[in-house]
Amino acid sequence: MNKQDALALLKSVESGEMSPEDALLKLRLEPFEDLGYAKPDHHRGLRQGAAEVVFGQGKTPAQIVGISKAMMEKGQKLILITRLGVQAAEEAAIELPLKYHPIGRVGIIGEVPKPDGAGKIVVATGGTSDMPIAEEAALTAEALGNDVTRLYDVGVAGLHRLLSKLEEIMGAKAIIAIAGMEGALASVIGGLADCPVIGVPTSVGYGASFGGVAALLSMLNSCASSVSVVNIDNGFGAAFIASMINHANAMRGIRSALIPSP
């Protein structure tokens, strides 16, 4: 159950369509389910506004199937599986209605919702090699109900490529800047945009990039005041934060409806 479902439930009690006892029963359903190898958090959407996401890396296909089926049985309409390998996806798809996106290593069960955020999220990359992380971010943002614009291969080695997209950059509600090497893209975009910029350092680069540490430190030391940074290769985390920014007004409205004013 997400926050919108909870609000609809409370309104049905208010209108008399449902008894308080029946509503209480729905709310008291087990907040998590113990599968032995995992404990799916069925109340995540109610607490945080977005349902739990399955991290596929390190899980067997059978575990992914079991967790996903448990979520589906509890009424979760869309299930996002990140870091899902090709072989695990093929095996899981035998038992699940799974759509797999190999570049971003993302599996999606259910229909992606129509965008309902305040504006657009731009996902930009320094190079084509950053696309796996960018697609993880873009697909996550879309699954969370955002309109996403992709700007790929617009790194600082050819600055004119980025400057040709100023309309998209200046019209964004949040921007995810993804880059390896020295990670300069986040600072450059931060100096152009009037919205929050979330830097994602990637592990792309030669030896002295230290698997993304150089880009991470560069982004952390950005002189552009609008830049914040997530962990190396964390496209999912960046997209989740960007989605919260893009839905901030809607979340405030739901909170005010659920929590009475003093």
The domain spans of the chain are 31-111, 120-246
pLDDT of residue 257: 47
Check whether 56 has a pLDDT greater than 60. yes
User: Which CATH code for domain 120-246?
Assistant: 3.40.50.1970
> How far is the C-alpha of 236 from the C-alpha of 207, rounded, in Å?
25
Residues 190-200, mean pLDDT to the nearest whole number: 96
What is the average pLDDT value for the chain, to the nearest integer?
87
Q: Characterize the bridge pairing of strands 120-125 and 98-101.
A: unpaired
Check whether 123 has a pLDDT greater than 90. yes
Check: pTM over 0.85? Answer yes or no: no
Check whether 28 has a pLDDT greater than 60. no
Question: How would residue 15 be classed by pLDDT, with cut points 50, 70 and 90?
Answer: confident
Residues 225-232, mean pLDDT to the nearest whole number: 96
Q: By C-alpha distance, which of 146, 256, 130 is closest to 199?
A: 130
Radius of gyration of the chain (CA): 20
pLDDT of residue 210: 96
pLDDT of residue 184: 95
Question: How would residue 25 be classed by pLDDT, with cut points 50, 70 and 90?
Answer: low
Dihedral (CA of 107, 112, 118, 120) sign: positive
Check whether 253 has a pLDDT greater than 60. no
